[in-house]
Amino acid sequence: MELSDNLIREFRPSKKVVVLTGAGISAESGIPTFRGEDGLWKRYRVEELATPYAFQTNPKLVWEWYDWRRGIIAEAEPNPGHTAIAEMEQIFPDFFLITQNVDGLHRRAGNSEIIEIHGNLWQLRCVKEGTVRENYHVPLLDIPPTCECGALLRPHVVWFGESLDKEDLARSYNVIGECDLLLVVGTSAVVQPVASFPLMAKRRGAFLVEVNKEPTPISSLVDESLIGKAGEVLPALLGLIKEAYRGRQ
């Protein structure tokens, strides 16, 4: 893949960089994406598994599905795409990562400046008290799991029909509203409000780069669309950034 000098110039370490990721970044770790031919939403009905109504009607079924996904993720490792993004956090003093993924792989790769805007599937929330705890049992000991107070625990993720966490959203708007460079990786860019972040960044005057294995609805908006696998394109991009700015900030 050809990466132009102009593109690498946009990645000066003095820039405020935001990376926005979706399921595609974890695809090469063996974690299924949601849309596309092999996507989860081809095989499962979202309304039966990822809505508050689904959980009210059949918490066991919902938890069996999440338990299955936790099993896949527990076996998975961060891939070179995750690692490249973790290294970027070290290179750019002003760096932020917003991910729609609930798999926790970015943290495992080493990112710490991160908002998991759709939650995290290793966290469980009491439906009565709202308390959140971590739980790494695979498989879960009880399905559905319950809180000490007797109420059900649910995955601490955002379901369809639910609002995003207010603080996470406000912080995301903040960093998007101030960034110089937005790198969008492996998202179909159709789920709101995250799908509108690239347009917000563009309006603010940021340079937009997309990495995806195929064109998406934002491809016509971005300044550079890099078609390829995140696990290959991101390490190549990082290599050139390091070469261009070695020893300089």
User: What is the size of the binding site for ligand OAD (CB under 6 A)?
Assistant: 25
Three-class SS state of 114: strand
Contact 155, 165 (CB under 8 A): no
Report if residue 34 touches ligand OAD, rule: CB under 6 A.
Answer: yes
Please, which residue, 23 or 241, has the CB nearer to ligand OAD?
A: 23
Annotated catalytic residue: which of 82, 106, 118, 156? Answer: 118
Given a contact cutoff of 8 angstroms between Cβ atoms, the answer to whether 185 and 18 are in contact is: no
Site for ligand OAD in 99-138 (CB under 6 A): 100, 118
Long-range CB contacts for residues 110-115, cutoff 8 Å, separation at least 24: 110/83, 110/86, 111/85, 111/86, 113/89, 115/168, 115/171, 115/172
Among 212, 222, 238, 241, binds ligand OAD (CB under 6 A): 212
Which stretch in 58-66, 143-151, 172-180, 211-219 sits in contact with ligand OAD by CB under 6 A?
Answer: 211-219
**Is residue 146 a contact partner of residue 153, using CB atoms and an 8 Å limit?**
yes
Specify burial of residue 45 (Cβ count, 10 A radius: 0-12, 13-18, 19+): exposed
In the complex, which residue's CB is closest to ligand OAD?
24
Closest distance of CB 247 from ligand OAD, Å: 31
Q: Which of residues 152-171 bind ligand OAD (CB under 6 A)?
A: 158
Is 118 one of the catalytic residues? yes
Instruction: For residue 83, state whether it binds ligand OAD (rule: CB under 6 A).
Output: no
Question: CB of residue 24 vs ligand OAD: minimum separation in angstroms?
Answer: 2
Please list, in sequence order, all residues whose beta carbon lies within 8 angstroms of the beta carbon of residue 136, skipping any fewer than 6 positions away. 74, 122
Beta bridge partners of 155: 124
Binding-site member from 229, 237, 238, 241 for ligand OAD (CB under 6 A): 229
